[in-house]
Structure 1
Amino acid sequence: MRRAATIGFLVMAMAAGAGTTVSAAEFPADVKTFLANREQCDHFRGEEAYDEARGAEINKALDKYCKGTDAALKKLKAKYRKGPPDVVKALAALEDTVE
């Protein structure tokens, strides 16, 4: 599976492209919460289930952090489609389908 960019990477990439400093701390609360959960989702999507216990742990985390993420991303993209530009870029950089 392809891992999506982390919040830190997104912020650095946006800052480099825009020639300005962009802080994820300035994102709206709903976007910050989504990005933090999505980062955890992407982390566990890349984990290997090397035994049954680890597989159960990964599945539990995937349910917690990934369930509903596709719909939530779509909703946030619609809500912030006209800005702020750094939020639009951060959301656009994510995969639309991870469930």
Structure 2
Amino acid sequence: MGRAAEIVGVTQAFLRGLDAAELLTPQRSEGGHRRYSRYQLRIAARVRQLVDEGNPLEAACRIVILEDQLAEAQRINSELQQTLRDSRGTDRRPPE
């Protein structure tokens, strides 16, 4: 956890706060140490940025969750649009 906090530029207490807010759920080593993924560290860094901009921690966590949901919805939308374009292209018959 110490190394993760150092990488993100926050205190260990900040990371524990994100864990308590259920924004991050790090894996645990056999010794019980928290292990954060790169994705989780990016989330923690984004929350820190929002907090540094004056947002309360709870609001920053909500913003990050909504940003993540929006990105996922946009990804799904793009995939569906591509599938639709592909199906229209294969369903078309050449002119007679």
- TM-score of the pair, normalised by structure 2: 0.29
Q: Larger Rg: 1 or 2?
A: 2
Which one has more relative contact order, counting CA pairs under 8 Å at least 6 apart? 1
TM-score, with length taken from structure 1: 0.28
Which has the larger share of strand? 2
